[in-house]
Amino acid sequence: MRFLPVSSNALLVELADLDQTLALLASLQRDPVHGVAELVPAARTILVHYRPWATSAAALVRAIAARDLSQRVERGSTLIEIPVRYDGEDLAEVAQLLDITPDEVVRRHTGSEYTVAFTGFAPGFGYLSGGHPSLDVPRRRTPRTQIPAGAVGLAGTFSGVYPKASPGGWQIIGTTPVAMWDLDREPPALLQPGYRVRFVDMATLDGGADAAAASRVDASVRNAARPVEGRSERVSAALKVKGTGLLTVFQDLGRHGRAGQGVSASGALDQAALKMANRLVGNRSDSAALETVGGGLQLQSQGDSVLAVTGADAALTVRTADGRQWPAPTHQALALADGDTLCVGQPAAGARCYVAARGGFAVAPVLGSCATDTLAGIGPAPLAVGDVLGVLPAPAGAVVGMPEQPAPDLPTVDQEVVLDVVLGPRTDWFTAESVVRLAAQRWQVTPQSNRVGLRLAGEVPLERAVTGELPSEGTVLGALQVPPSGQPILFLADHPLTGGYPVIGAVAPHHLDRAGQVPVGAWLRFNPIGPFEALRPSAG
């Protein structure tokens, strides 16, 4: 095993092959290590998230290094059969790469059984191993910007099915009508780690059966549709959306612990601001609030309500139904009468404001959270003009908080924003000059940035010393992933669970809220808080 630093609350265990990875995963699941919060397995690695107050990287390395990897993991008993129309646009190219006919590609793909080794990339995306040994093809040199839902693809020795339309670089050999991800199913992901999978050529089915008849999904995973999670309490007031700004979504502290479904945590980009907004109106700190980027959000109170706005330094205005208006303070509880409209202006510093309502919003959680994951498409829809947001009654004894101070030194476009970074896990995949350049050069946040990540542009791109293909591995919030362009992407809350480009470092946890407030156009500098060094087991 090789142990690589990722952040101050995560490390990466690198192993020789998939069999060793699955053996270690089974060992860690069977006999958990104290302080571990979540495991994200991949082709040759396991990303270990841990609680720094409960354990340390050194203690984890000692405990994990002692594990026995000799036991081969047995496959599960559940079999999923996936019908496929072998009409993929890369089928002929794959056949040419393997020097066989397209029909032979289909025969080999349907003639072997796969196992769901791990999940990642997107909710419901399973990495399937164990197919015909000859089906080993590289990813496309240039990823497609859009691959349809249900596309069946090959990459390396893995096979997989895209759960939803998304960009991707796998070689597409067919499509399936079977849903890989369905929130009306429990669990929503059809493919779970350890399941056996067999692909079936739909052309061989009687009468060319359609999707419903062709889906011979094993009975053990058929479940009755679960009821939609929701809040049935009677509302005490409501907020009518008169303007949304660039993007306004519901966020809370996220849906953690769902890596087995391929689901990232998501959640508020500035969690301290979200907690503060809830505290000011007397809510639980993990209650859902609105996250709005830039200015333009307008909420009209229907009935009396109490709101608080925190986060970015934005001017607030209250406008009455008869046209009178006045400025309102941020970072304190604000009472609105029936018909009053709260307007959020363009931030002078920071990027995102958080709006909490006393009593909480009557919004239905999805998978235990009200966070809107913009990449995965999970959670409540972004706000639209005309929406009416119900507000629940405040519980007895809920106390409105005293006014708070905004975060000091919020990022602006006029000053360089310094973020501490932990080097790793793939710092050694880059030239020594590029590692120096990461810190020495400033990077501008481009307009292509969003909740998935800040896309950065520097005068001189980062260059790799290792040019081979990196097997997909787990990524953390704050990771600095470097695609072939050499221009880093700073992953934010809606980033994919796994990625196939090397990560040179990660923003330290104490600066993640600050990273979430960086506006487009701002300049960043990265401050490595230590050298890159592999972690080694030690006695004691």
Amino acid at 471: P
pLDDT confidence of residue 233: 59
- Please name the residue that has the structure tokens 């196939």: 500
pLDDT confidence of residue 231: 45
Using an 8 Å Cβ cutoff, are 375 and 494 in contact?
Answer: yes
* Mean pLDDT over the full length of the chain: 92
> Hey, what's the torsion of the CAs at 463, 465, 467, 473, to 10 degrees?
-90
pLDDT confidence of residue 120: 84
pLDDT confidence of residue 168: 85
**pLDDT (tens digit, 9 = 90+) per residue, 128-148?**
999 999 999 988 877 787 899
**pLDDT (tens digit, 9 = 90+) per residue, 233-266?**
588 899 999 999 999 999 999 999 888 788 999 9
The domain limits of the chain are 2-65, 79-217, 237-391, 416-528
Residue % of the chain over a pLDDT of 90:
81
The C-alpha atoms of residue 442 and residue 394 are separated, in whole angstroms, by: 47
Using an 8 Å Cβ cutoff, are 223 and 105 in contact?
Answer: no
pLDDT confidence of residue 214: 43
**pLDDT (tens digit, 9 = 90+) per residue, 276-313?**
999 999 999 999 999 999 999 999 999 999 999 999 99
pLDDT confidence of residue 468: 84
**pLDDT (tens digit, 9 = 90+) per residue, 174-199?**
999 999 999 988 889 999 888 999 99
Instruction: Check pLDDT > 70 for residue 220.
Output: no
Identify any residues that bridge with 247 across adjacent strands, giving them in sequence order: 293
Distance of CA 490 to the CA centre of its chain: 12
Using an 8 Å Cβ cutoff, are 324 and 293 in contact?
Answer: no
**pLDDT (tens digit, 9 = 90+) per residue, 76-132?**
789 999 999 999 999 999 999 999 999 999 999 999 999 999 888 889 999 999 999
What integer is the mean pLDDT of 376-392?
96
Beta strands in 202-346 (DSSP E): 237-244, 247-251, 289-293, 297-302, 305-313, 316-319, 325-328, 334-336, 341-344
**pLDDT (tens digit, 9 = 90+) per residue, 406-461?**
998 999 999 999 999 999 999 999 999 999 999 999 999 999 999 999 999 999 99
Model confidence at 206, in pLDDT bands (50, 70, 90)?
low
pLDDT confidence of residue 146: 87
**pLDDT (tens digit, 9 = 90+) per residue, 458-504?**
999 999 999 888 888 999 999 999 998 999 999 999 998 888 899 99
**79-217 CATH:** 2.40.100.10
Count of CB atoms situated within 10 Å of the CB of 35: 17
Amino acid at 8: S
**pLDDT (tens digit, 9 = 90+) per residue, 350-383?**
999 999 999 999 999 999 999 999 988 999 999 9
With helix as H, strand as E and coil as C, how does 228-252 read? CCCCCCCCCEEEEEEEECCEEEEEC
Q: Which CATH number fits domain 416-528: 2.40.100.10, 3.20.10.10, 2.30.40.10, 2.40.50.140?
A: 2.40.100.10
- Please name the residue that has the structure tokens 């986060």: 311
Instruction: Check pLDDT > 50 for residue 227.
Output: no
Residue 419: both structure tokens together: 């973020």
pLDDT confidence of residue 223: 34
Is the pTM value of this prediction over 0.85? Answer: yes
What integer is the mean pLDDT of 269-275?
98
**pLDDT (tens digit, 9 = 90+) per residue, 44-85?**
999 999 999 999 999 999 999 999 998 888 777 899 999 999
Instruction: Decide if 79-217 and 416-528 have a common fold.
Output: yes
pLDDT confidence of residue 335: 97
pLDDT confidence of residue 282: 97
When mean pLDDT is compared across 160-169, 204-213, 342-351, 358-367, the lowest value belongs to 204-213
pLDDT confidence of residue 469: 81
CATH 3.30.1360.40 for domain 2-65, yes or no, is: yes
Model confidence at 539, in pLDDT bands (50, 70, 90)?
low
- Our CA angle for 452, 507, 455, nearest 5°, is 40
Instruction: Check pLDDT > 70 for residue 527.
Output: yes
The C-alpha atoms of residue 415 and residue 402 are separated, in whole angstroms, by: 31
pLDDT confidence of residue 224: 29
Instruction: Check pLDDT > 50 for residue 222.
Output: no
pLDDT confidence of residue 215: 46
